[in-house]
Structure 1
Amino acid sequence: MRPVEPLSSWFRLIGQQGLDPKTMKAYAYTVIMLLNYLTARGLDLRQATENDVLEFRRWRREDAEETVEETTWDRDAAAIGGLYTYLDQIGYVTGRPWRATGRGASLGSGTSQDSRVRHMELDQYLFLRDVGFGGLQPGGGLDLGFRGWRPHRNRAALELALMTGMRIQEWSTLLLPELGLTDSKRAPFAVVDLAACAKYGRPRSVYAPSAAMELLSAYLLLERPGIVATAQRTLRRQVRELFVVQRIERDGTQVRGVLEGATITRVIKDMKPDLRRITVWETGGGLDPLALFVGTGGRMLTGSGWDRIRWRAWKRMKRWSEHGAAPVLPRRCWVFHDTRHTFALRLLIFLTREALRDVSAEQMPMATLLDHMVGNPLLVVQRRLGHAHPSTTYRYIQYLKDPMRDVEAAFRSWSAAGGASYATVARQLMLRESADAAQG
């Protein structure tokens, strides 16, 4: 664990820039692999040439024990590029060892990745929410053999993720005041201002509709009090490590309390996840975590905790599917980000239909420029998702219609005629083409 320069200083720098911990970990593995690769060749970072770096890329893509795809290599290239930029700035090297190309000075593949947008149909989502996360039977009845934990919390979290389109770091780190849930008077909906927990800290507002709030109410009434009561002894024992809030101010947007012996005030939307996880409220009757979704010990559930819940739900759904009691399941386990894709696609379809209906009702060949600017479905979805560029949202367009269903519809009459299969149709077309060629 000794400091290894100049890597330690570089990591300190990018850590101060607020890089995501998961990205930091990936960058660490990359630069360590590069360093080991160069050391095995009797070289170091100063002595590496363009050929050495390109050979490392080839090894990583083709010869390593665990080779990687282009997307992973592009992340590795970003790490190596960032490292050498820093080394050049501090004078450790005289420049990057590779030459700039048509793609610039990057080692990346230059290939634009069109990520698969995996979304759910209604029956798939309800099966995930109620059977996988909620422990019900496919028909809606109680499953007396269910051994899951906190089904109300888990269903409410999934519903909130779907209905808001938030990323897991956004919805899993929410605090009660952000949704107006700190007293008995609860609004039927909520508007949450995201900042520090949003991707890249990019601010945006999120609307939580009544459907999501209803499931949250059931969780807050039936499960959360028991979790908090059980955690009191643990919380009291750890109180010196916690941010103990004494007052919630400015209509639930600011908190004031004691952290490490000092009294501080924080704007909630600017609180980072690490601070949120240790934030509790001194109610007079005990310590109540301000986290919306609470796990064992009264602490906010982490990403790995939600992953365990997700995998348990997947295994449960797979068991039901073996008995033919499940909708079509994907080959790979659903991930929480699939709810974000589902939100985006359903909202885009709805807004597009509404825009077409408005144009038709007004009997106009096209909407006015103002209507187009204000109500453009893509721009609305972009704002709701917090995408920096419209091109990111644009990829959802290709999923507005299911091409597989179009193929089925196009050939339905063919396959229905005499039970003809695709193979039969193809054979008939080939015979017809041969006959036409012979006549020609």
Structure 2
Amino acid sequence: MQLYFANHRAVWRVGDVAGVDRALFEPALGRYRVPAGTPVLLDDGMRPVEPLSAWFRWLALRRKSAKTMRTYAYTVLMLLAFLESRGLDLRSAAETDILQFRQWRCEDDEDPVDDPTWDKNSAAIGLLYKFLEGIGYVEERPWRATARGESLSSGTSTDVRVRHLELEQYLYLRDVGFGGLDPDGQLDGMFHGWCPHRNRATSELALMTGQRIQEWSTLLLPELGLEEGHRPASAEVDLQACAKGKRRRSSYVPAAAMQMLDPYLAIERPEIVARAQRTLRRRHRDLFVVERFEADATRVRGILEGIRVSRLIRAMSPELRQITMLETGDGLNPLAVFIGRGGRMLTPSGWDRVRWRAWDRMKRWAAHRAAPQLPRRCWVYHDLRHTFALRLLIYLTREALGDAMAQELPMSTLLDHMTGNPLLIVQQRLGHRHPSSTYRYVRYLKDPIREVDEAFREWTAAGGASYITIARHLMNLEEHVHAAQG
């Protein structure tokens, strides 16, 4: 058996490469079209393997992301190979076989997985058997219900570690690691990095919005109001397709983060776009070429795979955003805010390389008198999200209390007086599905072992104005929402 993944652009290019009439592909790309990234499992005769191919289509039509479907597909292939080694298949597998597959994955495999990874595997297997049971392929799932329900999961509850940055650590990360300065704030003649203004802007945006890397790295210019040369003081981004679980929410981008974008947009980005023109023109037919903006720049209209289409920006997938270009008349301008060589949006691995280069620079200057203490492990972009959540939670609480004396209260006393509203706002702004995900920040701040009071007072003294603005803006938004609902 061979596993493939649906790729519309690859099918469309066949007409160019092989000289085949594209009209032959219209049924496949029209009426019978499956979403991009859908797994396709074929046997030795290149025929679809059922019922797995039907399950893959079922997942795709329920808008599972391409990344999730890929993970599910490889999990099921491993299960099939395991069962085949025992002379079994999905229909004849018993509870013992499924449980022994779990033991093999978690203990006996050459590269055993941890509990969180197995829980993703078990989710795929559970969803598969739910589908097979629904179509009558099996009478029931081969494993029995437990106290936790019909689940193969490990049952391990993971409490994600909250790692935040102190003010001097963040400035060191932004200016020395990403920005190419030395710890004294002077230009480092030994710096040989690339796009320091871009990298500093991404760190500031992540810190000031709390967005995940897939959210801020896939932003488009119109989402920040930057289309056609506009430079708004702040922005409100409507996140959806690039958010975790595609849960729609609004993200406020304050003035400080927008201002940090200016050097990158004025200096670095135009140079990257100019150098990428030959590459972009060569790939023209593989791109989504936008001709104009519609509906106050919340929708774009252009040519995709030879067809004129209109797309709502917030509903555009990360994959579509990577190939979205604006036809300016003078050339193609990528709509992605943050781009790399060739005019392409950076991939997660590309951002990882940026992060590790920054970490190497920070370690090189670690002995300098002005350098802060570095953690044992390299920082990740998600640490900026944790820092945002912790700071915003405190500022919102102080604003909600409306008491100037709250600035002098210990952290634990302050949180004892916390109302539910600040937690609700933080939960909504971070895109947490469950309140428990947000409450872990309260537990962290109230832990007497952690001495975070002074660290947060430093943030208040140096950068409090921005967070006070963010807190008041978000609270005003909530008041308007509640008023409208009332």
TM-score (norm 2): 0.77
Structure 2 match to 1:438: none
Structure 1 match to 2:144: 99
Structure 1 residue corresponding to 2:281, chosen from 232, 236, 240? 236
Q: Secondary structure, in 3 states, of the residue corresponding to 1:403? A: coil
Gaps of 5+ in 2: 3-41, 44-48, 407-417, 455-486
Structure 1 match to 2:88: 43
Structure 2 match to 1:86: 131
Residue 77 (structure 1) aligned with residue 122 (structure 2): yes
| Deviation sequence 1:37-75 (CA, Å, 0-9, x none) | 222222222221111111222222222212222222211
Structure 2 residue corresponding to 1:385, chosen from 430, 440, 451? 430
Structure 1 residue corresponding to 2:99, chosen from 54, 63, 73? 54
Q: Secondary structure, in 3 states, of the residue corresponding to 1:52? A: helix
CA contact (8 A) 2:183 2:368 kept: no
Measured after TM superposition, the shift of residue 104 of structure 1 is 0.7
* Mean CA deviation greater in 244-253 or 340-349: 244-253
CA contact (8 A) 1:349 1:400 kept: no
Q: Secondary structure, in 3 states, of the residue corresponding to 1:280? A: strand
Measured after TM superposition, the shift of residue 5 of structure 1 is 3.3
Whole-angstrom CA distance in 1 between matches of 2:453 and 2:289? 60
Structure 2 match to 1:332: 377
Residue 395 (structure 1) aligned with residue 425 (structure 2): no
CA contact (8 A) 1:232 1:286 kept: yes
| Deviation sequence 1:222-246 (CA, Å, 0-9, x none) | 1000000001111112212222222
Instruction: Give the aligned residue type for 1:64.
Output: D
Whole-angstrom CA distance in 1 between matches of 2:193 and 2:360? 12
Whole-angstrom CA distance in 2 between matches of 1:214 and 1:377? 27
Instruction: Give the aligned residue type for 1:291.
Output: A
Residue 269 (structure 1) aligned with residue 314 (structure 2): yes
Measured after TM superposition, the shift of residue 257 of structure 1 is 1.8
Whole-angstrom CA distance in 2 between matches of 1:352 and 1:294? 37
Whole-angstrom CA distance in 2 between matches of 1:335 and 1:401? 24
Whole-angstrom CA distance in 1 between matches of 2:79 and 2:303? 45
CA contact (8 A) 1:117 1:396 kept: yes
Structure 1 stretches of at least 4 aligned residues deviating more than 6 Å after TM superposition? none
Gaps of 5+ in 1: 362-370, 410-440
- Report percent identity of matched pairs: 66
* Mean CA deviation greater in 332-341 or 286-295: 332-341
Measured after TM superposition, the shift of residue 270 of structure 1 is 1.8
Measured after TM superposition, the shift of residue 343 of structure 1 is 0.7
Instruction: Give the aligned residue type for 1:212.
Output: A
TM-score (norm 1): 0.84
Structure 1 match to 2:217: 172
| Matched ranges for 1:131-150 at <5 A | 131-150=176-195
Whole-angstrom CA distance in 2 between matches of 1:342 and 1:407? 11
Residue 319 (structure 1) aligned with residue 364 (structure 2): yes
Q: Secondary structure, in 3 states, of the residue corresponding to 1:223? A: helix
| Deviation sequence 1:266-322 (CA, Å, 0-9, x none) | 221122222211111111221111111111111222222112111221222223226
Structure 1 match to 2:71: 26
Structure 2 match to 1:295: 340
Using a 3 Å threshold, how does the CA distance of structure 1 residues 407 and 133 change in structure 2: closer, same or farther?
Answer: closer
- How many residue pairs were aligned? 398
* Mean CA deviation greater in 260-269 or 154-163: 260-269
Whole-angstrom CA distance in 2 between matches of 1:18 and 1:288? 29
Residue 254 (structure 1) aligned with residue 299 (structure 2): yes
CA contact (8 A) 1:244 1:279 kept: yes
Q: What's the RMSD between the two structures over aligned residues?
A: 2.4
Residue 226 (structure 1) aligned with residue 271 (structure 2): yes
| Matched ranges for 1:365-376 at <5 A | 372=419, 376=421
Using a 3 Å threshold, how does the CA distance of structure 1 residues 11 and 185 change in structure 2: closer, same or farther?
Answer: closer
Instruction: Give the aligned residue type for 2:400.
Output: A
Structure 1 residue corresponding to 2:390, chosen from 332, 337, 345? 345
